[in-house]
Chain A
Amino acid sequence: MTTWLARRQPFSLRTMSALFLTLWCLIAAFPIFWITVMSVKMPLDAFAASPWDVIWGPSTLAEGKGLSVLDILATLGLLCATGWLATRRLPRWVAAFSPLGFSALGWLIAAAGLALGFGVVGVVILPAIVGGLDSALGLHPILGLTTEHYRAIWVEHAFWHNFLNSVKVTLGVTAISLTVGTLAGYALARSGSKLAFWILIAALIFRALPHSVLVTGYLPIFINSAAILRPILGDAAPTLYGQPLAVIMVLVAINQPFTIWMLRSFFHNIPADLDEAARVDGCTHFQAFRWVIMPVMWPGVITTGLFSFLLGYNDFLVTSLLLDASNQTMVPAIAGFFNRETTMTDQVEAIAAAVSITAPLFLLVMVFQRQIVSGLTAGAVKG
């Protein structure tokens, strides 16, 4: 009772803390909110002088493009439902249905399913129902809104192609980083040798390197790799420039230092007795690693994997220099939209693309948020 009383915070402190958080949330969300608003307006509104014009979109409305009250309610409802599903329901379903030891896979399927469901309901089912109701009730649009920029980006500019490339690169980076990284992280955590120490220090310095130095060093070599490798590989020598696999390897390498440091501290928190017991029972080091250590490592792997995912998904420097048009991922594609000698319409389209690539990240954090916190609590932050 006394501790409860002592813990109860004075009113002023609680208000301060709440105010501080509210302010922070506003600052954190505002730029993203604002570009989302801009992306659904005609260029004249999106770059209008008055913020109210940007929000209400008079010239967008004048073209008859807008949302009725019912549309707005339906959209909000859909967003809330998605949020609720992702944070409340999904964890339970994943826990219940994913095959033992493969919760990561379960999460992946769940996240993809959620995205798909959101798309189907939002683009097909809901519009049909609400559109029908709108015309039945004779509701008029009150908020200017147009999705034509999204259509232009995804359909006319074939942005889905870039999306698939991003998926390829990101999944590749995450999978290879984690495979290679867990092996190294485990060995580094269990070995007290001088060599292990020096590898870690070298990794730390590699982590600090400016990327532009490395990347521009690759460019001529990647472009001429066919000629360089011909004496070794014969006619099968590939041109690495433009190959997603080559870019994946570069990103994995750049990401290795962080991955092995992070995973090493997770492994540190798993008692060494565990694998020693397994070894006494006749397991090799690798068997102990695979069958005894890995099953308890999933929280760490998921957390580290998320960081790898972000790196692969968000990278600009490497992908823009080393990939050609047919394999280009989303971020350099968007930078390309902006860097063109653009018109205002192009810019709003680019903003729509920018919002589009943020959406999967949104979903990802919504789904994995608890895993990040619990993962970090369980492991990395103690080492």
Chain B
Amino acid sequence: MNCIIIDDEAMARAIVEQFTIENKNLTLDAEFSDAIQAIKYLNQNQTDLIFLDIHMPTFNGFELIQTLKNPPKIILTTSDRNFAIEAFEYDCIVDYLVKPISRERFDKSVNKVLSINKSTQPSLSSKNEEINQENEKFLYVNIDRRLIKIDIPTIYLIEAKGDYILIKTTSKNYTVHSTLKKIEEKLPNDLFLKIHRSYIINTKQIIDIEDNSVLIEKDVIPVSRSNRPELMKRLNLL
């Protein structure tokens, strides 16, 4: 879990920092002595967990929570036991650590967050995986110093042309300075297949196959003898 520490007291930050370093489930991304700086950070970055002091100048811990649209899990760290009831009015507050914090109590608190995350929502790393999966649907190509987004499933053919490749999509063609090998690495294996040393095709867009060629959109593409068995394997033959 990624975490941050917000506490105006350096001593308190140093102790929690040491505990986060020692806990293999935590990665400390940042620490803040000032709530405003922390809010700015949280508006631009995601985190799984905040160790948050209640008593701070300008903004106290509860006010900070109220500024967050989707607060992550929060463990309060405080010298004051009197806020415990208020603390549990916030769904995001998982635990309440009274200073001075012991290592055992700290680890217990982190385990509590871990078990809640397991049973309820995906962690930041899972969210990153989702983002990566989403990114895999697109490919960015560099044309005239511009990065152009191409929707991968719309690509039906890629043809090698010397130092360039011609990417044909159902709506537009793109000539890009690259190689078939490089683009092949970026494409999903279950969708694309190299059927000839100069051609990669989207197997889902094949219209028909005749002897040693395939018809895809309006292009007839040769299939090399060595690639034909793999192509036939991919087809849902009757």
Chain A complexes with chain B: no
Q: B-side interface residues toward A, CB under 8 Å?
A: none
